[in-house]
Amino acid sequence: MTAVPQSTGRELTSPPTDGISNLRFSNHSDNLLVSSWDKSVRLYDASANALRGEFMHGGAVLDCCFHDDSSGFTACADHTVRRLVFNHSREDILGRHDAPVRCIEYSYATGQVITGSWDKTLKCWDPRGSSGQERSLIGTYTQPERVYSLSLVGNRLVVATAGRHVNVYDLRNMNQPEQRRESSLKYQTRCVRCYPNGTGYALSSVEGRVAMEFFDLSEAGQSKKYAFKCHRKSEAGRDIVYPVNSIAFHPIYGTFATGGCDGYVNVWDGNNKKRLYQYPKYPTGIAALSFSRDGRLLAVASSYTYEEGDKPHEPDAIFVRSVNEVEVKPKPKMLPNPAT
């Protein structure tokens, strides 16, 4: 990996030994939480390039998120939702699903943990009642299909499932979805992320496409939505299309990065419908992306996502690159574009 040019960013030492399922920066520091198929959850100090802690679970860890800077939550393939306290290397079991837990989010607005599972349910947990499922479980909400991706903004929760269903919830009233939608994209949903300004969400599919959606159901609101193609390669007049595994919004500018199985990370300006930047190719597909709290760092998980089954692939690695403002700052619309 030393051969990788500096432009891909600094590679973290002691990466997970198997596929990286997700990584997230803390909201308070440059700590980075990484979950992996090797059944581990690792806590790195990204700026110091040091491994600060490691937890081993009973199964592949499919997702993780921070609670505060000293604790976090994990979603595990052994059906279990756990809370980790980093300083004391302690782990509590919050509860269990009936199938592997695919994704997990912590809502600062409500202080709840929200998990989505392949058992076609969404569960809300109170992390303070950590002494048993009956006390920590707040509610179970049936979804039309297996949950593939979750995203939160304020009190809004967007749930993307198999079968291209998208449910939009208000966390204050989880009894039924606020909106029931079908994905605008025709193919399986890979990732959904809410805009930081809370007006909508971006949704990516396995077919090199990202849809920009808006919560506002009025005609004017819906007229703004669109979809665009990305992570494709045209060779000799043919297009090769790659899944878009990850979307990460810049916390300050509202622009966003997408990562695909082609190993590229693209930065987009959704308002002006422009691509701002493309980073050099990473050794293998991009499994996950995360901007740090101030948007100065971008963590990139370069990790094979098994889209082509078990095959030889480059080792899994985490790169942390410092983000140049030019790469993420929206460019005014007025600039003449050489491409057109």
Partner 1 sequence: MSNGQSDPLLQMETTCGSLLYELQIIWDEVGESDAERDRMLLELERECLEVYRRKVDQANRCRAQIRQAIADSEAELAAICSAMGERPVHIRQSDQNLGNLKEELRAILPQIEEMRKRKCDRKNQFVEVLEQIQKLKHELSNSSGYISTTLVVDEADLSLRKLEELQREMLALQNEKSERLKQVLDHLNSLNSLCLVLGMDFKQTVSEVHPSLGDPEGSKNISHDTIQQLAAAIQKLREIKIQRMQRLQDLAMSLLQLWNLMDTPLEEQQVFQKVTCNVAASENEIVEPNMLSIDIITFVEKEVSRLEELKTSKMKELVLKKKSELEDICRKTHLIPETDSSLDIAIEAIESGAVDATYVLEKIEVEIAKVKEEAFSRKDILDKVEKWMVACEEESWLEEYNRDENRYNAGRGAHLTLKRAEKARVLVNKLPTIVDALASKTSSWENERGIEFTYDGVRLLSMLEEYNILRQEKEQERKRQRDQKKLQGQLLAEQEALYGSKPSPMKNQSTKKGPRLSCGGASNRRLSLGGTILQTPKHDMLHSTKATPNTRHAKKNDRLSHDNPTRDDRFQAMSSGRRGLDIAGLPLKPHSLNPTNAHEIELPIMRKPFSPISSTDSSKSKATNILEDLNTKHNEMLQKTLTSNNTSPFTTPSKTISTMDEENRTPKTMAIPMPSTPSTVSVPMLTAITPAPCVPKSMEDEDIEYSFEERRAGFVLPKDHRKSLVQI
Residues that bind partner 1 (CB under 8 A): 19, 21, 37, 60, 62, 77, 99-100, 102, 118, 120, 144-146, 148, 162-164, 180, 182-188, 190, 206-208, 211, 225-230, 232, 234-235, 237-243, 261, 268-269, 273-280, 305-311, 331, 337-340
Would you call 42 helix, strand, or coil by DSSP?
Answer: strand
Tokens of 88: 């004391």
User: Rounded CA gap, 310 and 246, in Å?
Assistant: 21
Q: How far is the CB of 148 from partner 1 (least distance, A)?
A: 6
Q: Which distant-in-sequence residues (6+ apart) come within 8 Å of 146 by Cβ?
A: 99, 102, 117, 118, 119, 120, 161, 162
Which is closer to partner 1, CB of 77 or CB of 152?
A: 77
Q: How far is the CB of 154 from partner 1 (least distance, A)?
A: 22
Q: How far is the CB of 81 from partner 1 (least distance, A)?
A: 16
Q: How far is the CB of 93 from partner 1 (least distance, A)?
A: 20
User: Rounded CA gap, 305 and 323, in Å?
Assistant: 25
User: Rounded CA gap, 43 and 32, in Å?
Assistant: 6
Which is closer to partner 1, CB of 15 or CB of 285?
A: 285
Q: How far is the CB of 188 from partner 1 (least distance, A)?
A: 6
Which is closer to partner 1, CB of 90 or CB of 273?
A: 273
Which is closer to partner 1, CB of 42 or CB of 146?
A: 146
Which is closer to partner 1, CB of 33 or CB of 230?
A: 230
How far, CA to CA in Å, does 218 sit from each of 97, 111, 194, 201, 223? 37, 31, 19, 16, 8
As a residue count, the chain comes to 340
Q: How far is the CB of 177 from partner 1 (least distance, A)?
A: 11
Are 224 and 238 in contact by the 8 Å Cβ rule? The answer is no
How far, CA to CA in Å, does 300 sit from each of 61, 113, 211? 18, 25, 22
Which is closer to partner 1, CB of 68 or CB of 308?
A: 308
User: Rounded CA gap, 4 and 168, in Å?
Assistant: 41
Q: How far is the CB of 68 from partner 1 (least distance, A)?
A: 28
Are 254 and 198 in contact by the 8 Å Cβ rule? The answer is no
Which is closer to partner 1, CB of 46 or CB of 212?
A: 212
